[in-house]
Chain A
Amino acid sequence: AQSVAQPEDQVNVAEGNPLTVKCTYSVSGNPYLFWYVQYPNRGLQFLLKYITGDNLVKGSYGFEAEFNKSQTSFHLKKPSALVSDSALYFCAVRPTYSGAGSYQLTFGKGTKLSVIP
């Protein structure tokens, strides 16, 4: 069975500072990894994904994430935080095998990011 851990329920960062939202995963074999963001009263919006190749993945709104296989982590980063980045962030994993269950996303509990002006 696969699982995702987001160890921080909340992250506070000052506007203009770099931000990191942590994610670790557990899965058999190689994973597909995703980050989604949820703004208030909105659905989840896709930010970026890792499938294979370069460990540093760039996504929407200036976000990037680094895949670290040895640490089974996929932390979300941004060099300079904006107040508008304040939202709920979800990390998700999907298995790479084909067949039943292979399309399921397994999510972490989410991390609330607050960017302070």
Chain B
Amino acid sequence: EAGVTQFPSHSVIEKGQTVTLRCDPISGHDNLYWYRRVMGKEIKFLLHFVKESKQDESGMPNNRFLAERTGGTYSTLKVQPAELEDSGVYFCASSQRRGGVDEQFFGPGTRLTVL
């Protein structure tokens, strides 16, 4: 079974540019999450999709961040325009939707550097 995949693995952009990160969850997982780790800090929750619907976007830092999950499969996270403080590692995770407490399976992350 393929795990969660993320693309690109690294991205280096200039301040003010746009970047789009992609996440492909494990097949059949309805729940998809985005997290971010700024260097030296905790991994912070950004948002949660159930299928194509945003269930919880309370962690999105501001309106420069836009997440989509069209068709309930892969998801994209766009940062426009990027600022220096957006640098960090962006993790995507997925989990099944069923009764109980399912562990979230994480991708390798996308390391974003804004210069």
Contacts and interface: CB of A to CB of B under 8 A. Distances in A.
Given A94-B101, A104-B45, A43 B4 contact: yes
Contacts of A32: 101
A46 B4 CA distance: 13
Nearest to B103: A46
Contact of A46 (B40, B42, B105): B105
Interface residues of B, number: 29
Contacts of B91: 43-44
Nearest to A42: B108
A104 B48 contact: yes
A34 B56 CA distance: 20
Contacts of A107: 35, 42-44
Interface range on chain A (Cβ under 8 Å from partner): 20 to 34
B106 interface: yes
Interface string B34-60: 010000111111001000000110110
B56 A101 contact: yes
A43 B108 contact: yes
A103 B34 CA distance: 12
Interface in B20-77: 31, 33, 35, 40-45, 48, 55-56, 58-59
B104 interface: yes
A4 B42 CA distance: 9
Contacts of A46: 103-105
Nearest 7 interchain pairs by C-beta: A44-B106, A107-B43, A43-B106, A43-B108, A104-B45, A46-B103, A43-B107
Interface of A: 4, 32, 34, 36, 41-46, 49, 51, 90, 94, 100-101, 103-110
Given A105-B35, A107-B44, A110-B42, 4 more contacts: A43-B106, A44-B93, A101-B58, A105-B104
